[in-house]
Structure 1
Amino acid sequence: MPPSRRQILRRRRVAVFGALAVVVGTVFYLPMTLLAPLGPVEAAVTPVAVTAQPAAALEWPTLGTSAVGAIGFASTLGTGGAAEAAPIASITKVITALVVLEAKPLAVGDAGPNIEFTAKDVAIRDAYRAVNGATEPVTAGMVLSQRQVMDIMLMESANNYAESLATWAYGSMADFVPAANAWLAKNGLNSTTISEPTGMSPQNVSTASDLVALGKLALAHPVVAEIVGTAKEAVPVLGEIENSNSLLGIDGIRGIKTGTLDEAGACLLFASDFVIGGKTVTIVGAVLGGVNHRALNETVRVLLADVEESFHEVALTTAGESFGTYTTPWGDTAALVAAKDSAVVVWADTPIATETRVDAVGVAKKGTDVGEVTFTVAGETITVPLELAATIDDPGPWWRLTNPAALF
């Protein structure tokens, strides 16, 4: 039996609405699948491990007290011997120089004001000579610049010049001493006390750790750093003066101050430069209570060699080194790699902490910044950008059309 008119009309409606549904679906589905943004992809991050370095093995002096530090590193890297404060002898003169420069500032290359010596200064010299203190000649009416007086005090360790300089800068010993102890407190040298400016008094005491901090302050002042690193100099009236530090120029040593006193023994506040991985490291150390300066110098050289061996350059990243991988649902892969080489100089077995931050990405070009890896060592942070090692391409129309669940 042929279909009725009603059946034919019904079939036509179904066909029309079906076609309309296909058209409407196509109109919406195709743009949504072909143009829809791709969801971000998380990276599989590779754990970062930095090779541990060996601990320091330092040969400390068997007598007295000692400590070493380095500019830009922790306050001290290590200590040996007694911990209590001990007499510091002529290392006191470094304090005197810094305290005088606070009252009478000088810049490198400046001579400063003239200082005229009097009969009182002659008497000061006579008093120190009477107790076998180191002195340099002085006459009434002699005139030297502030810088020249400081040179004689620090290089030749002349006690009479230290007292004359302090008196000139502060008016009297009664005014200099409290000013000096206030300066020590202000700079955090809480285990250091002085009662006069030369070091002849055993009441001038400090710890080796405090002296390391003092040495860093001395090197931070351009004038003091220049003086203590000078081997010889011509001075009016006196002629050529020489630095009392016989280690100057040996093993990179560039100062700072010797000291000798019955109650203190042989003492040395020293600084030495050496290069690790292209970076100059300045060691500052102090040794108190040596038997004599010959033995003390040998001890310091051994200690410096041990300290140098305990510094290491540690490679952190190499440009192109992989720190993880992105893998997309459509099969693209791209490593996230270090954008540059990086390294750090560390002391002995100082730990290095790491933290990696990585962004989720979609379609992206090779070289796109995708995060960073941060290394922290002794309070210093080194951050290296991470970038894509390859382009992550769009998957194309066919994948989009056949994987709608991945898009919505």
Structure 2
Amino acid sequence: MVRFHLLLFILLFASFVPAIVQAKRIASKPTVSSRAAIAIDLSTGRTLYQKHADQRMPIASLTKLMTAMIVLDSKRSLIRPARITDADVDRLKWSSSRLPVGSLLLRRTMLHIALMSSENRAAFALSRDYPGGRPGFVRAMNRTAKRLHMTRSHFVDPTGLSPHNVSTARDLTRLARAAYRYPTIRDYATSHQKLVLGGDGPLMYHNTDPLVYRASWRVALQKTGFTNEAGHCLIIITMVRGHPMLLVFLGAPNAHAHFQDAVNVRSWLLKR
């Protein structure tokens, strides 16, 4: 009888071990060094991971997703040329640009390299070439943020160079979802490279996000960003088991950390 009960106990325990192991695997959180992060399944709307998702922080060039939406919503022709002027030079951070003053580019080329390579002078030029000029453009950014219920977000410039461009990881999921509906934004943000003519000579721009080059990720939207105040930032939509997953990372400590965070979270999601 004792042997029978011992055997029964062993069999019952063995049957529970896989469930216990699975529960522990799901319960463990991914390693994320970013100050704030969130992961959402766009198929279901479920939030699968979050870390300080409502903390208001500078967002650097993630701003340019909003900039692109305002440009496209204006319905102004993208095949009309625009010129880089002295007014497009960054005098806040004195960041570098490969576009010299006087460069003449199609507006669609400016939009392309602003999204793909975070070209600040292109974003500045597009905002200046708007009804009401750059102040009117920024007002449109904040109106759109309000319409999207980005209640903890505020914009003061089209590039994200200003630390006063602020948002939260959760608010940025609303921006990313809205930007995802624009085929042009999806196309330009995920392209690998762009040859640009119109400056001192031909320039080859490349995507600032190394994850777009990984075929298995099937990246559908992305934007990177960095300033000293914001740290390293990333928005990315990638496929996980047939579901589009939206990942946002803010304030990563170094130039590789936000990409590693994305890898860690995606790996964690694949194991769920």
- Map of 2:36 onto structure 1: 65
Q: Report the CA distance between 1:75 and its aligned residue.
A: 5.8
1:257 aligns with 2:218: no
1:90 aligns with 2:61: yes
Superposed CA deviations along residues 177-216 of structure 1, whole A, max 9, x for unmatched, are: 1111001111222222111110011111111111122222
- Map of 1:298 onto structure 2: 260
Q: Report the CA distance between 1:218 and its aligned residue.
A: 1.8
Preserved CA contact (<8 Å) 1:76 1:212: no
Aligned counterpart for 2:208 among listed residues 240, 244, 250: 244
- Map of 2:170 onto structure 1: 209
Preserved CA contact (<8 Å) 2:53 2:170: no
AA of the residue aligned to 1:157:
S
* Higher helix residue share: 2
Aligned counterpart for 1:113 among listed residues 79, 104, 107: 79
Cα distance change, pair 56–218 in 1 and its aligned pair in 2 (3 A): farther
Superposed CA deviations along residues 108-167 of structure 1, whole A, max 9, x for unmatched, are: xxxx2312315xx23422x34x73424231342x43222111011111211111111011
Cα distance change, pair 135–82 in 1 and its aligned pair in 2 (3 A): same
- Map of 2:121 onto structure 1: 160
TM-score, normalised to structure 1's length? 0.56
Preserved CA contact (<8 Å) 1:63 1:81: no
Unaligned runs of 5+ in 2: 1-21
The aligned runs of 1:339-350 (5 Å cut-off) are none
- Map of 1:218 onto structure 2: 179
Q: d(CA) in 1 for partners of 2:27 and 2:76?
A: 40
* Higher strand residue share: 1
AA of the residue aligned to 1:168:
D
- Partner of 2:128, secondary structure, is helix
Cα distance change, pair 286–98 in 1 and its aligned pair in 2 (3 A): same
Superposed CA deviations along residues 224-274 of structure 1, whole A, max 9, x for unmatched, are: 001111011222234321111122233505241111111111111111123
> Between the two proteins, what is the percent identity of the paired residues?
25
Aligned counterpart for 1:268 among listed residues 234, 238, 241: 234
1:309 aligns with 2:268: no
Q: Report the CA distance between 1:172 and its aligned residue.
A: 1.6
- Partner of 2:205, secondary structure, is strand
TM-score, normalised to structure 2's length? 0.82
Preserved CA contact (<8 Å) 1:134 1:157: no
Q: Report the CA distance between 1:83 and its aligned residue.
A: 2.8
Q: d(CA) in 1 for partners of 2:44 and 2:100?
A: 42
1:198 aligns with 2:142: no
Q: d(CA) in 2 for partners of 1:297 and 1:249?
A: 13
Q: d(CA) in 1 for partners of 2:108 and 2:41?
A: 28
- Map of 2:100 onto structure 1: 138
Q: d(CA) in 2 for partners of 1:291 and 1:169?
A: 35
AA of the residue aligned to 1:297:
F
The aligned runs of 1:373-392 (5 Å cut-off) are none
- Map of 2:112 onto structure 1: 151
AA of the residue aligned to 1:243:
N
Preserved CA contact (<8 Å) 1:208 1:288: yes
- Partner of 1:197, secondary structure, is coil
AA of the residue aligned to 2:213:
G
Cα distance change, pair 221–58 in 1 and its aligned pair in 2 (3 A): farther
AA of the residue aligned to 2:82:
E
Superposed CA deviations along residues 34-59 of structure 1, whole A, max 9, x for unmatched, are: xxxxxxxxxxxxxxxxxxx9556431
Q: d(CA) in 1 for partners of 2:96 and 2:218?
A: 23
Cα distance change, pair 75–183 in 1 and its aligned pair in 2 (3 A): farther
Superposed CA deviations along residues 42-79 of structure 1, whole A, max 9, x for unmatched, are: xxxxxxxxxxx955643152441000112222163331
Q: d(CA) in 2 for partners of 1:72 and 1:185?
A: 24
Cα distance change, pair 225–148 in 1 and its aligned pair in 2 (3 A): same
Q: d(CA) in 2 for partners of 1:309 and 1:213?
A: 26
Q: d(CA) in 2 for partners of 1:149 and 1:62?
A: 33
- Map of 2:192 onto structure 1: 231
- Partner of 2:30, secondary structure, is coil
Misfit runs of 4+, over 6 Å: none
- Partner of 2:243, secondary structure, is strand
Higher relative contact order (CA 8 A, sep 6+): 2
**Greater Cα radius of gyration, structure 1 or 2:** 1
